[in-house]
Structure 1
Amino acid sequence: MLPEREKYFAPFREQYQRTRAQERWGADNENYYRALPRVPRDDPHRAMWRIREKNFRRVIAWIGAATSLRVLDVGAGNGWLANQLAARGHRVAAVDLRDDARDGLGARRNYFFAFECYQAEFERLPFAPAQFDLVIFNASLHYAASLAETLQEASRILAPIGKILLVDSPFYSHSITQSPNRPNYFLTFDQLNRTARELNLNIEIIFADAEWHKRARRKIIARKLGREPAHFPIYTLQSPPVP
């Protein structure tokens, strides 16, 4: 990452790291990282990790018997997904803004399986065109400064039949107004569909998050949150085949 971009992102990284530390993400035990997305029963984020574990199984089922895919994990955090994919024989690289040892790319030291790590931003990935078969945004797309630039950059580094996979980012039917001093880390279905059309990307729904469509449960959650509860679908995006 260029020095001027390091400086630009420094406030976000510092704030994010403080928040994650306060929320008690990560552990001092290497076995904790190797087991992810499974976590101990007393983990403060066990409910969220259970959702991620379910979606991880869906992703693995979707990938199927394919081996040695060139995969980029964008917004990889502590690299747990990169580790799991490397363990299954894929050639994996991980990208994140943060490199701290507890909750960033520095956590790679806890894993047995090798994958490359790059400190970079979503809109400026340090890779050549057509370098990857699969680009995964795992609980990270909602942090994109520009959805259009991020997806365009992901498309640039994809092989001709490669795909973008969106997992575990919160989507809403309507936009949510945030306070002026708080970033808007929310995506809407219309926003994604509009951006995909602008970039000429085909969208396919792999998992529609049907569990959230039970009306009674949604109403209870909405009352507690004071807003519409998030949906967590799984999407693929792909450029149309060249004739």
Structure 2
Amino acid sequence: MAYDKKQATEEFGRWSESYDRSVLQWLLFGPSHRSLIRRIDAVAGDRPITILDVGCGTGVFASRIRTALPQARVFGVDLVSDMLTRGAHRWRALAEAVHPVQGDSERLPFASGAFDFVTCANSFHHYPNQEQAASEMHRVLKPGGRLLLIDGYRDAPWGWFIYDVCVTYREGNVHHASAKRFREILDRAGFQAVAQKVHRGPAPFLLNEAIAAEPTPLYPAPHFHLRSPASVEHAAEV
């Protein structure tokens, strides 16, 4: 049976109660968030920026962005109201700079060209229509803006076992895209300079970085370039 938004809403509604205490906060989410923040900082420096975090959950990442990058104005969007509600204390504490919105990744409730960065950390495999979600991420980026999308790396045996076997068994028919499939999705959505980087560890993940199409990018192209699954293996980073 195909994974759908009703399943996702029910699953994350149940998970919202323990989400902030999950072992994944240490095992996967923390390392993913640090990787994203390093890339945003390396690209944007101390310039004022606007960031949209798609699949923002309870606001853990939004809070970390504001701590590390105080010049950033952050918007978060999540399909599941229970996740946003569980993060109410964070939204209140960061009310002047972080703005949560309930919405669908396939129909983002923001104007075209609104953001310098779009981030998406470890939720893309839950999106039933991944190509439509990627197109929406492209739409809301400024020309030359940057997408930073992280999901589980399933192209090596350990990652395949974790994500295609264990996670699928627990969460249903979710889909962790291969590195090749990510490139196809982002190319079709209109992104340029697609780059990928593997981060090793107990829960390996793949960072996809891409620039919203325009003749002259607003920021320089990513410094890492992997164009095939085989080359992804050789560029792995612990």
Same fold (TM over 0.5): yes
Q: Please, which of 48, 70, 78 is the counterpart of residue 68 of structure 1? A: 48
Counterpart of 2:103 in structure 1 is 120
- Percent of aligned positions with the same letter in both sequences? 22
Give deviations 1:28-68, integer Å, cap 9, x for gaps. xxxxxxxxxxxxxxx551x6524432333332222222342
What is the one-letter code of the residue matched to 1:74?
A: V
If asked which structure has higher relative contact order (CA below 8 Å, sep 6+), I would say: 2
The structure that has the greater radius of gyration is: 1
Distance 2:73 2:99 in 1: 9
Counterpart of 2:124 in structure 1 is 141
Q: Please, which of 136, 142, 145 is the counterpart of residue 162 of structure 1? A: 145
Mark the CA change 1:162 to 1:16 in structure 2 (over 3 Å): closer, same or farther: same
Report the Cα offset of residue 9 of structure 1.
4.1
Mark the CA change 1:78 to 1:233 in structure 2 (over 3 Å): closer, same or farther: same
Q: Please, which of 235, 239, 242 is the counterpart of residue 208 of structure 2? A: 235
Mark the CA change 1:109 to 1:67 in structure 2 (over 3 Å): closer, same or farther: farther
Report the Cα offset of residue 25 of structure 1.
2.6
Report the Cα offset of residue 163 of structure 1.
0.7
Mark the CA change 1:11 to 1:240 in structure 2 (over 3 Å): closer, same or farther: closer
Pairs aligned (count)? 194
Q: Please, which of 188, 208, 213 is the counterpart of residue 178 of structure 2? A: 188
Distance 1:67 1:106 in 2: 31
TM-score (norm 1): 0.69
Distance 2:12 2:175 in 1: 12
Mark the CA change 1:156 to 1:20 in structure 2 (over 3 Å): closer, same or farther: same
Distance 1:50 1:14 in 2: 24
Distance 1:15 1:90 in 2: 31
Distance 2:212 2:105 in 1: 19
Give deviations 1:145-195, integer Å, cap 9, x for gaps. 11111111100010011011112x11322794868x932232211211222
Give the gaps of 5 or more residues in structure 1: 1-7, 27-42, 213-220, 222-229
Report the Cα offset of residue 10 of structure 1.
4.5
Report the Cα offset of residue 139 of structure 1.
1.4
Give the gaps of 5 or more residues in structure 2: 217-238
TM-score (norm 2): 0.70
Q: Secondary structure at the match of 2:132?
A: helix
Give deviations 1:84-124, integer Å, cap 9, x for gaps. 22342311111001122xxx112343222221111111110
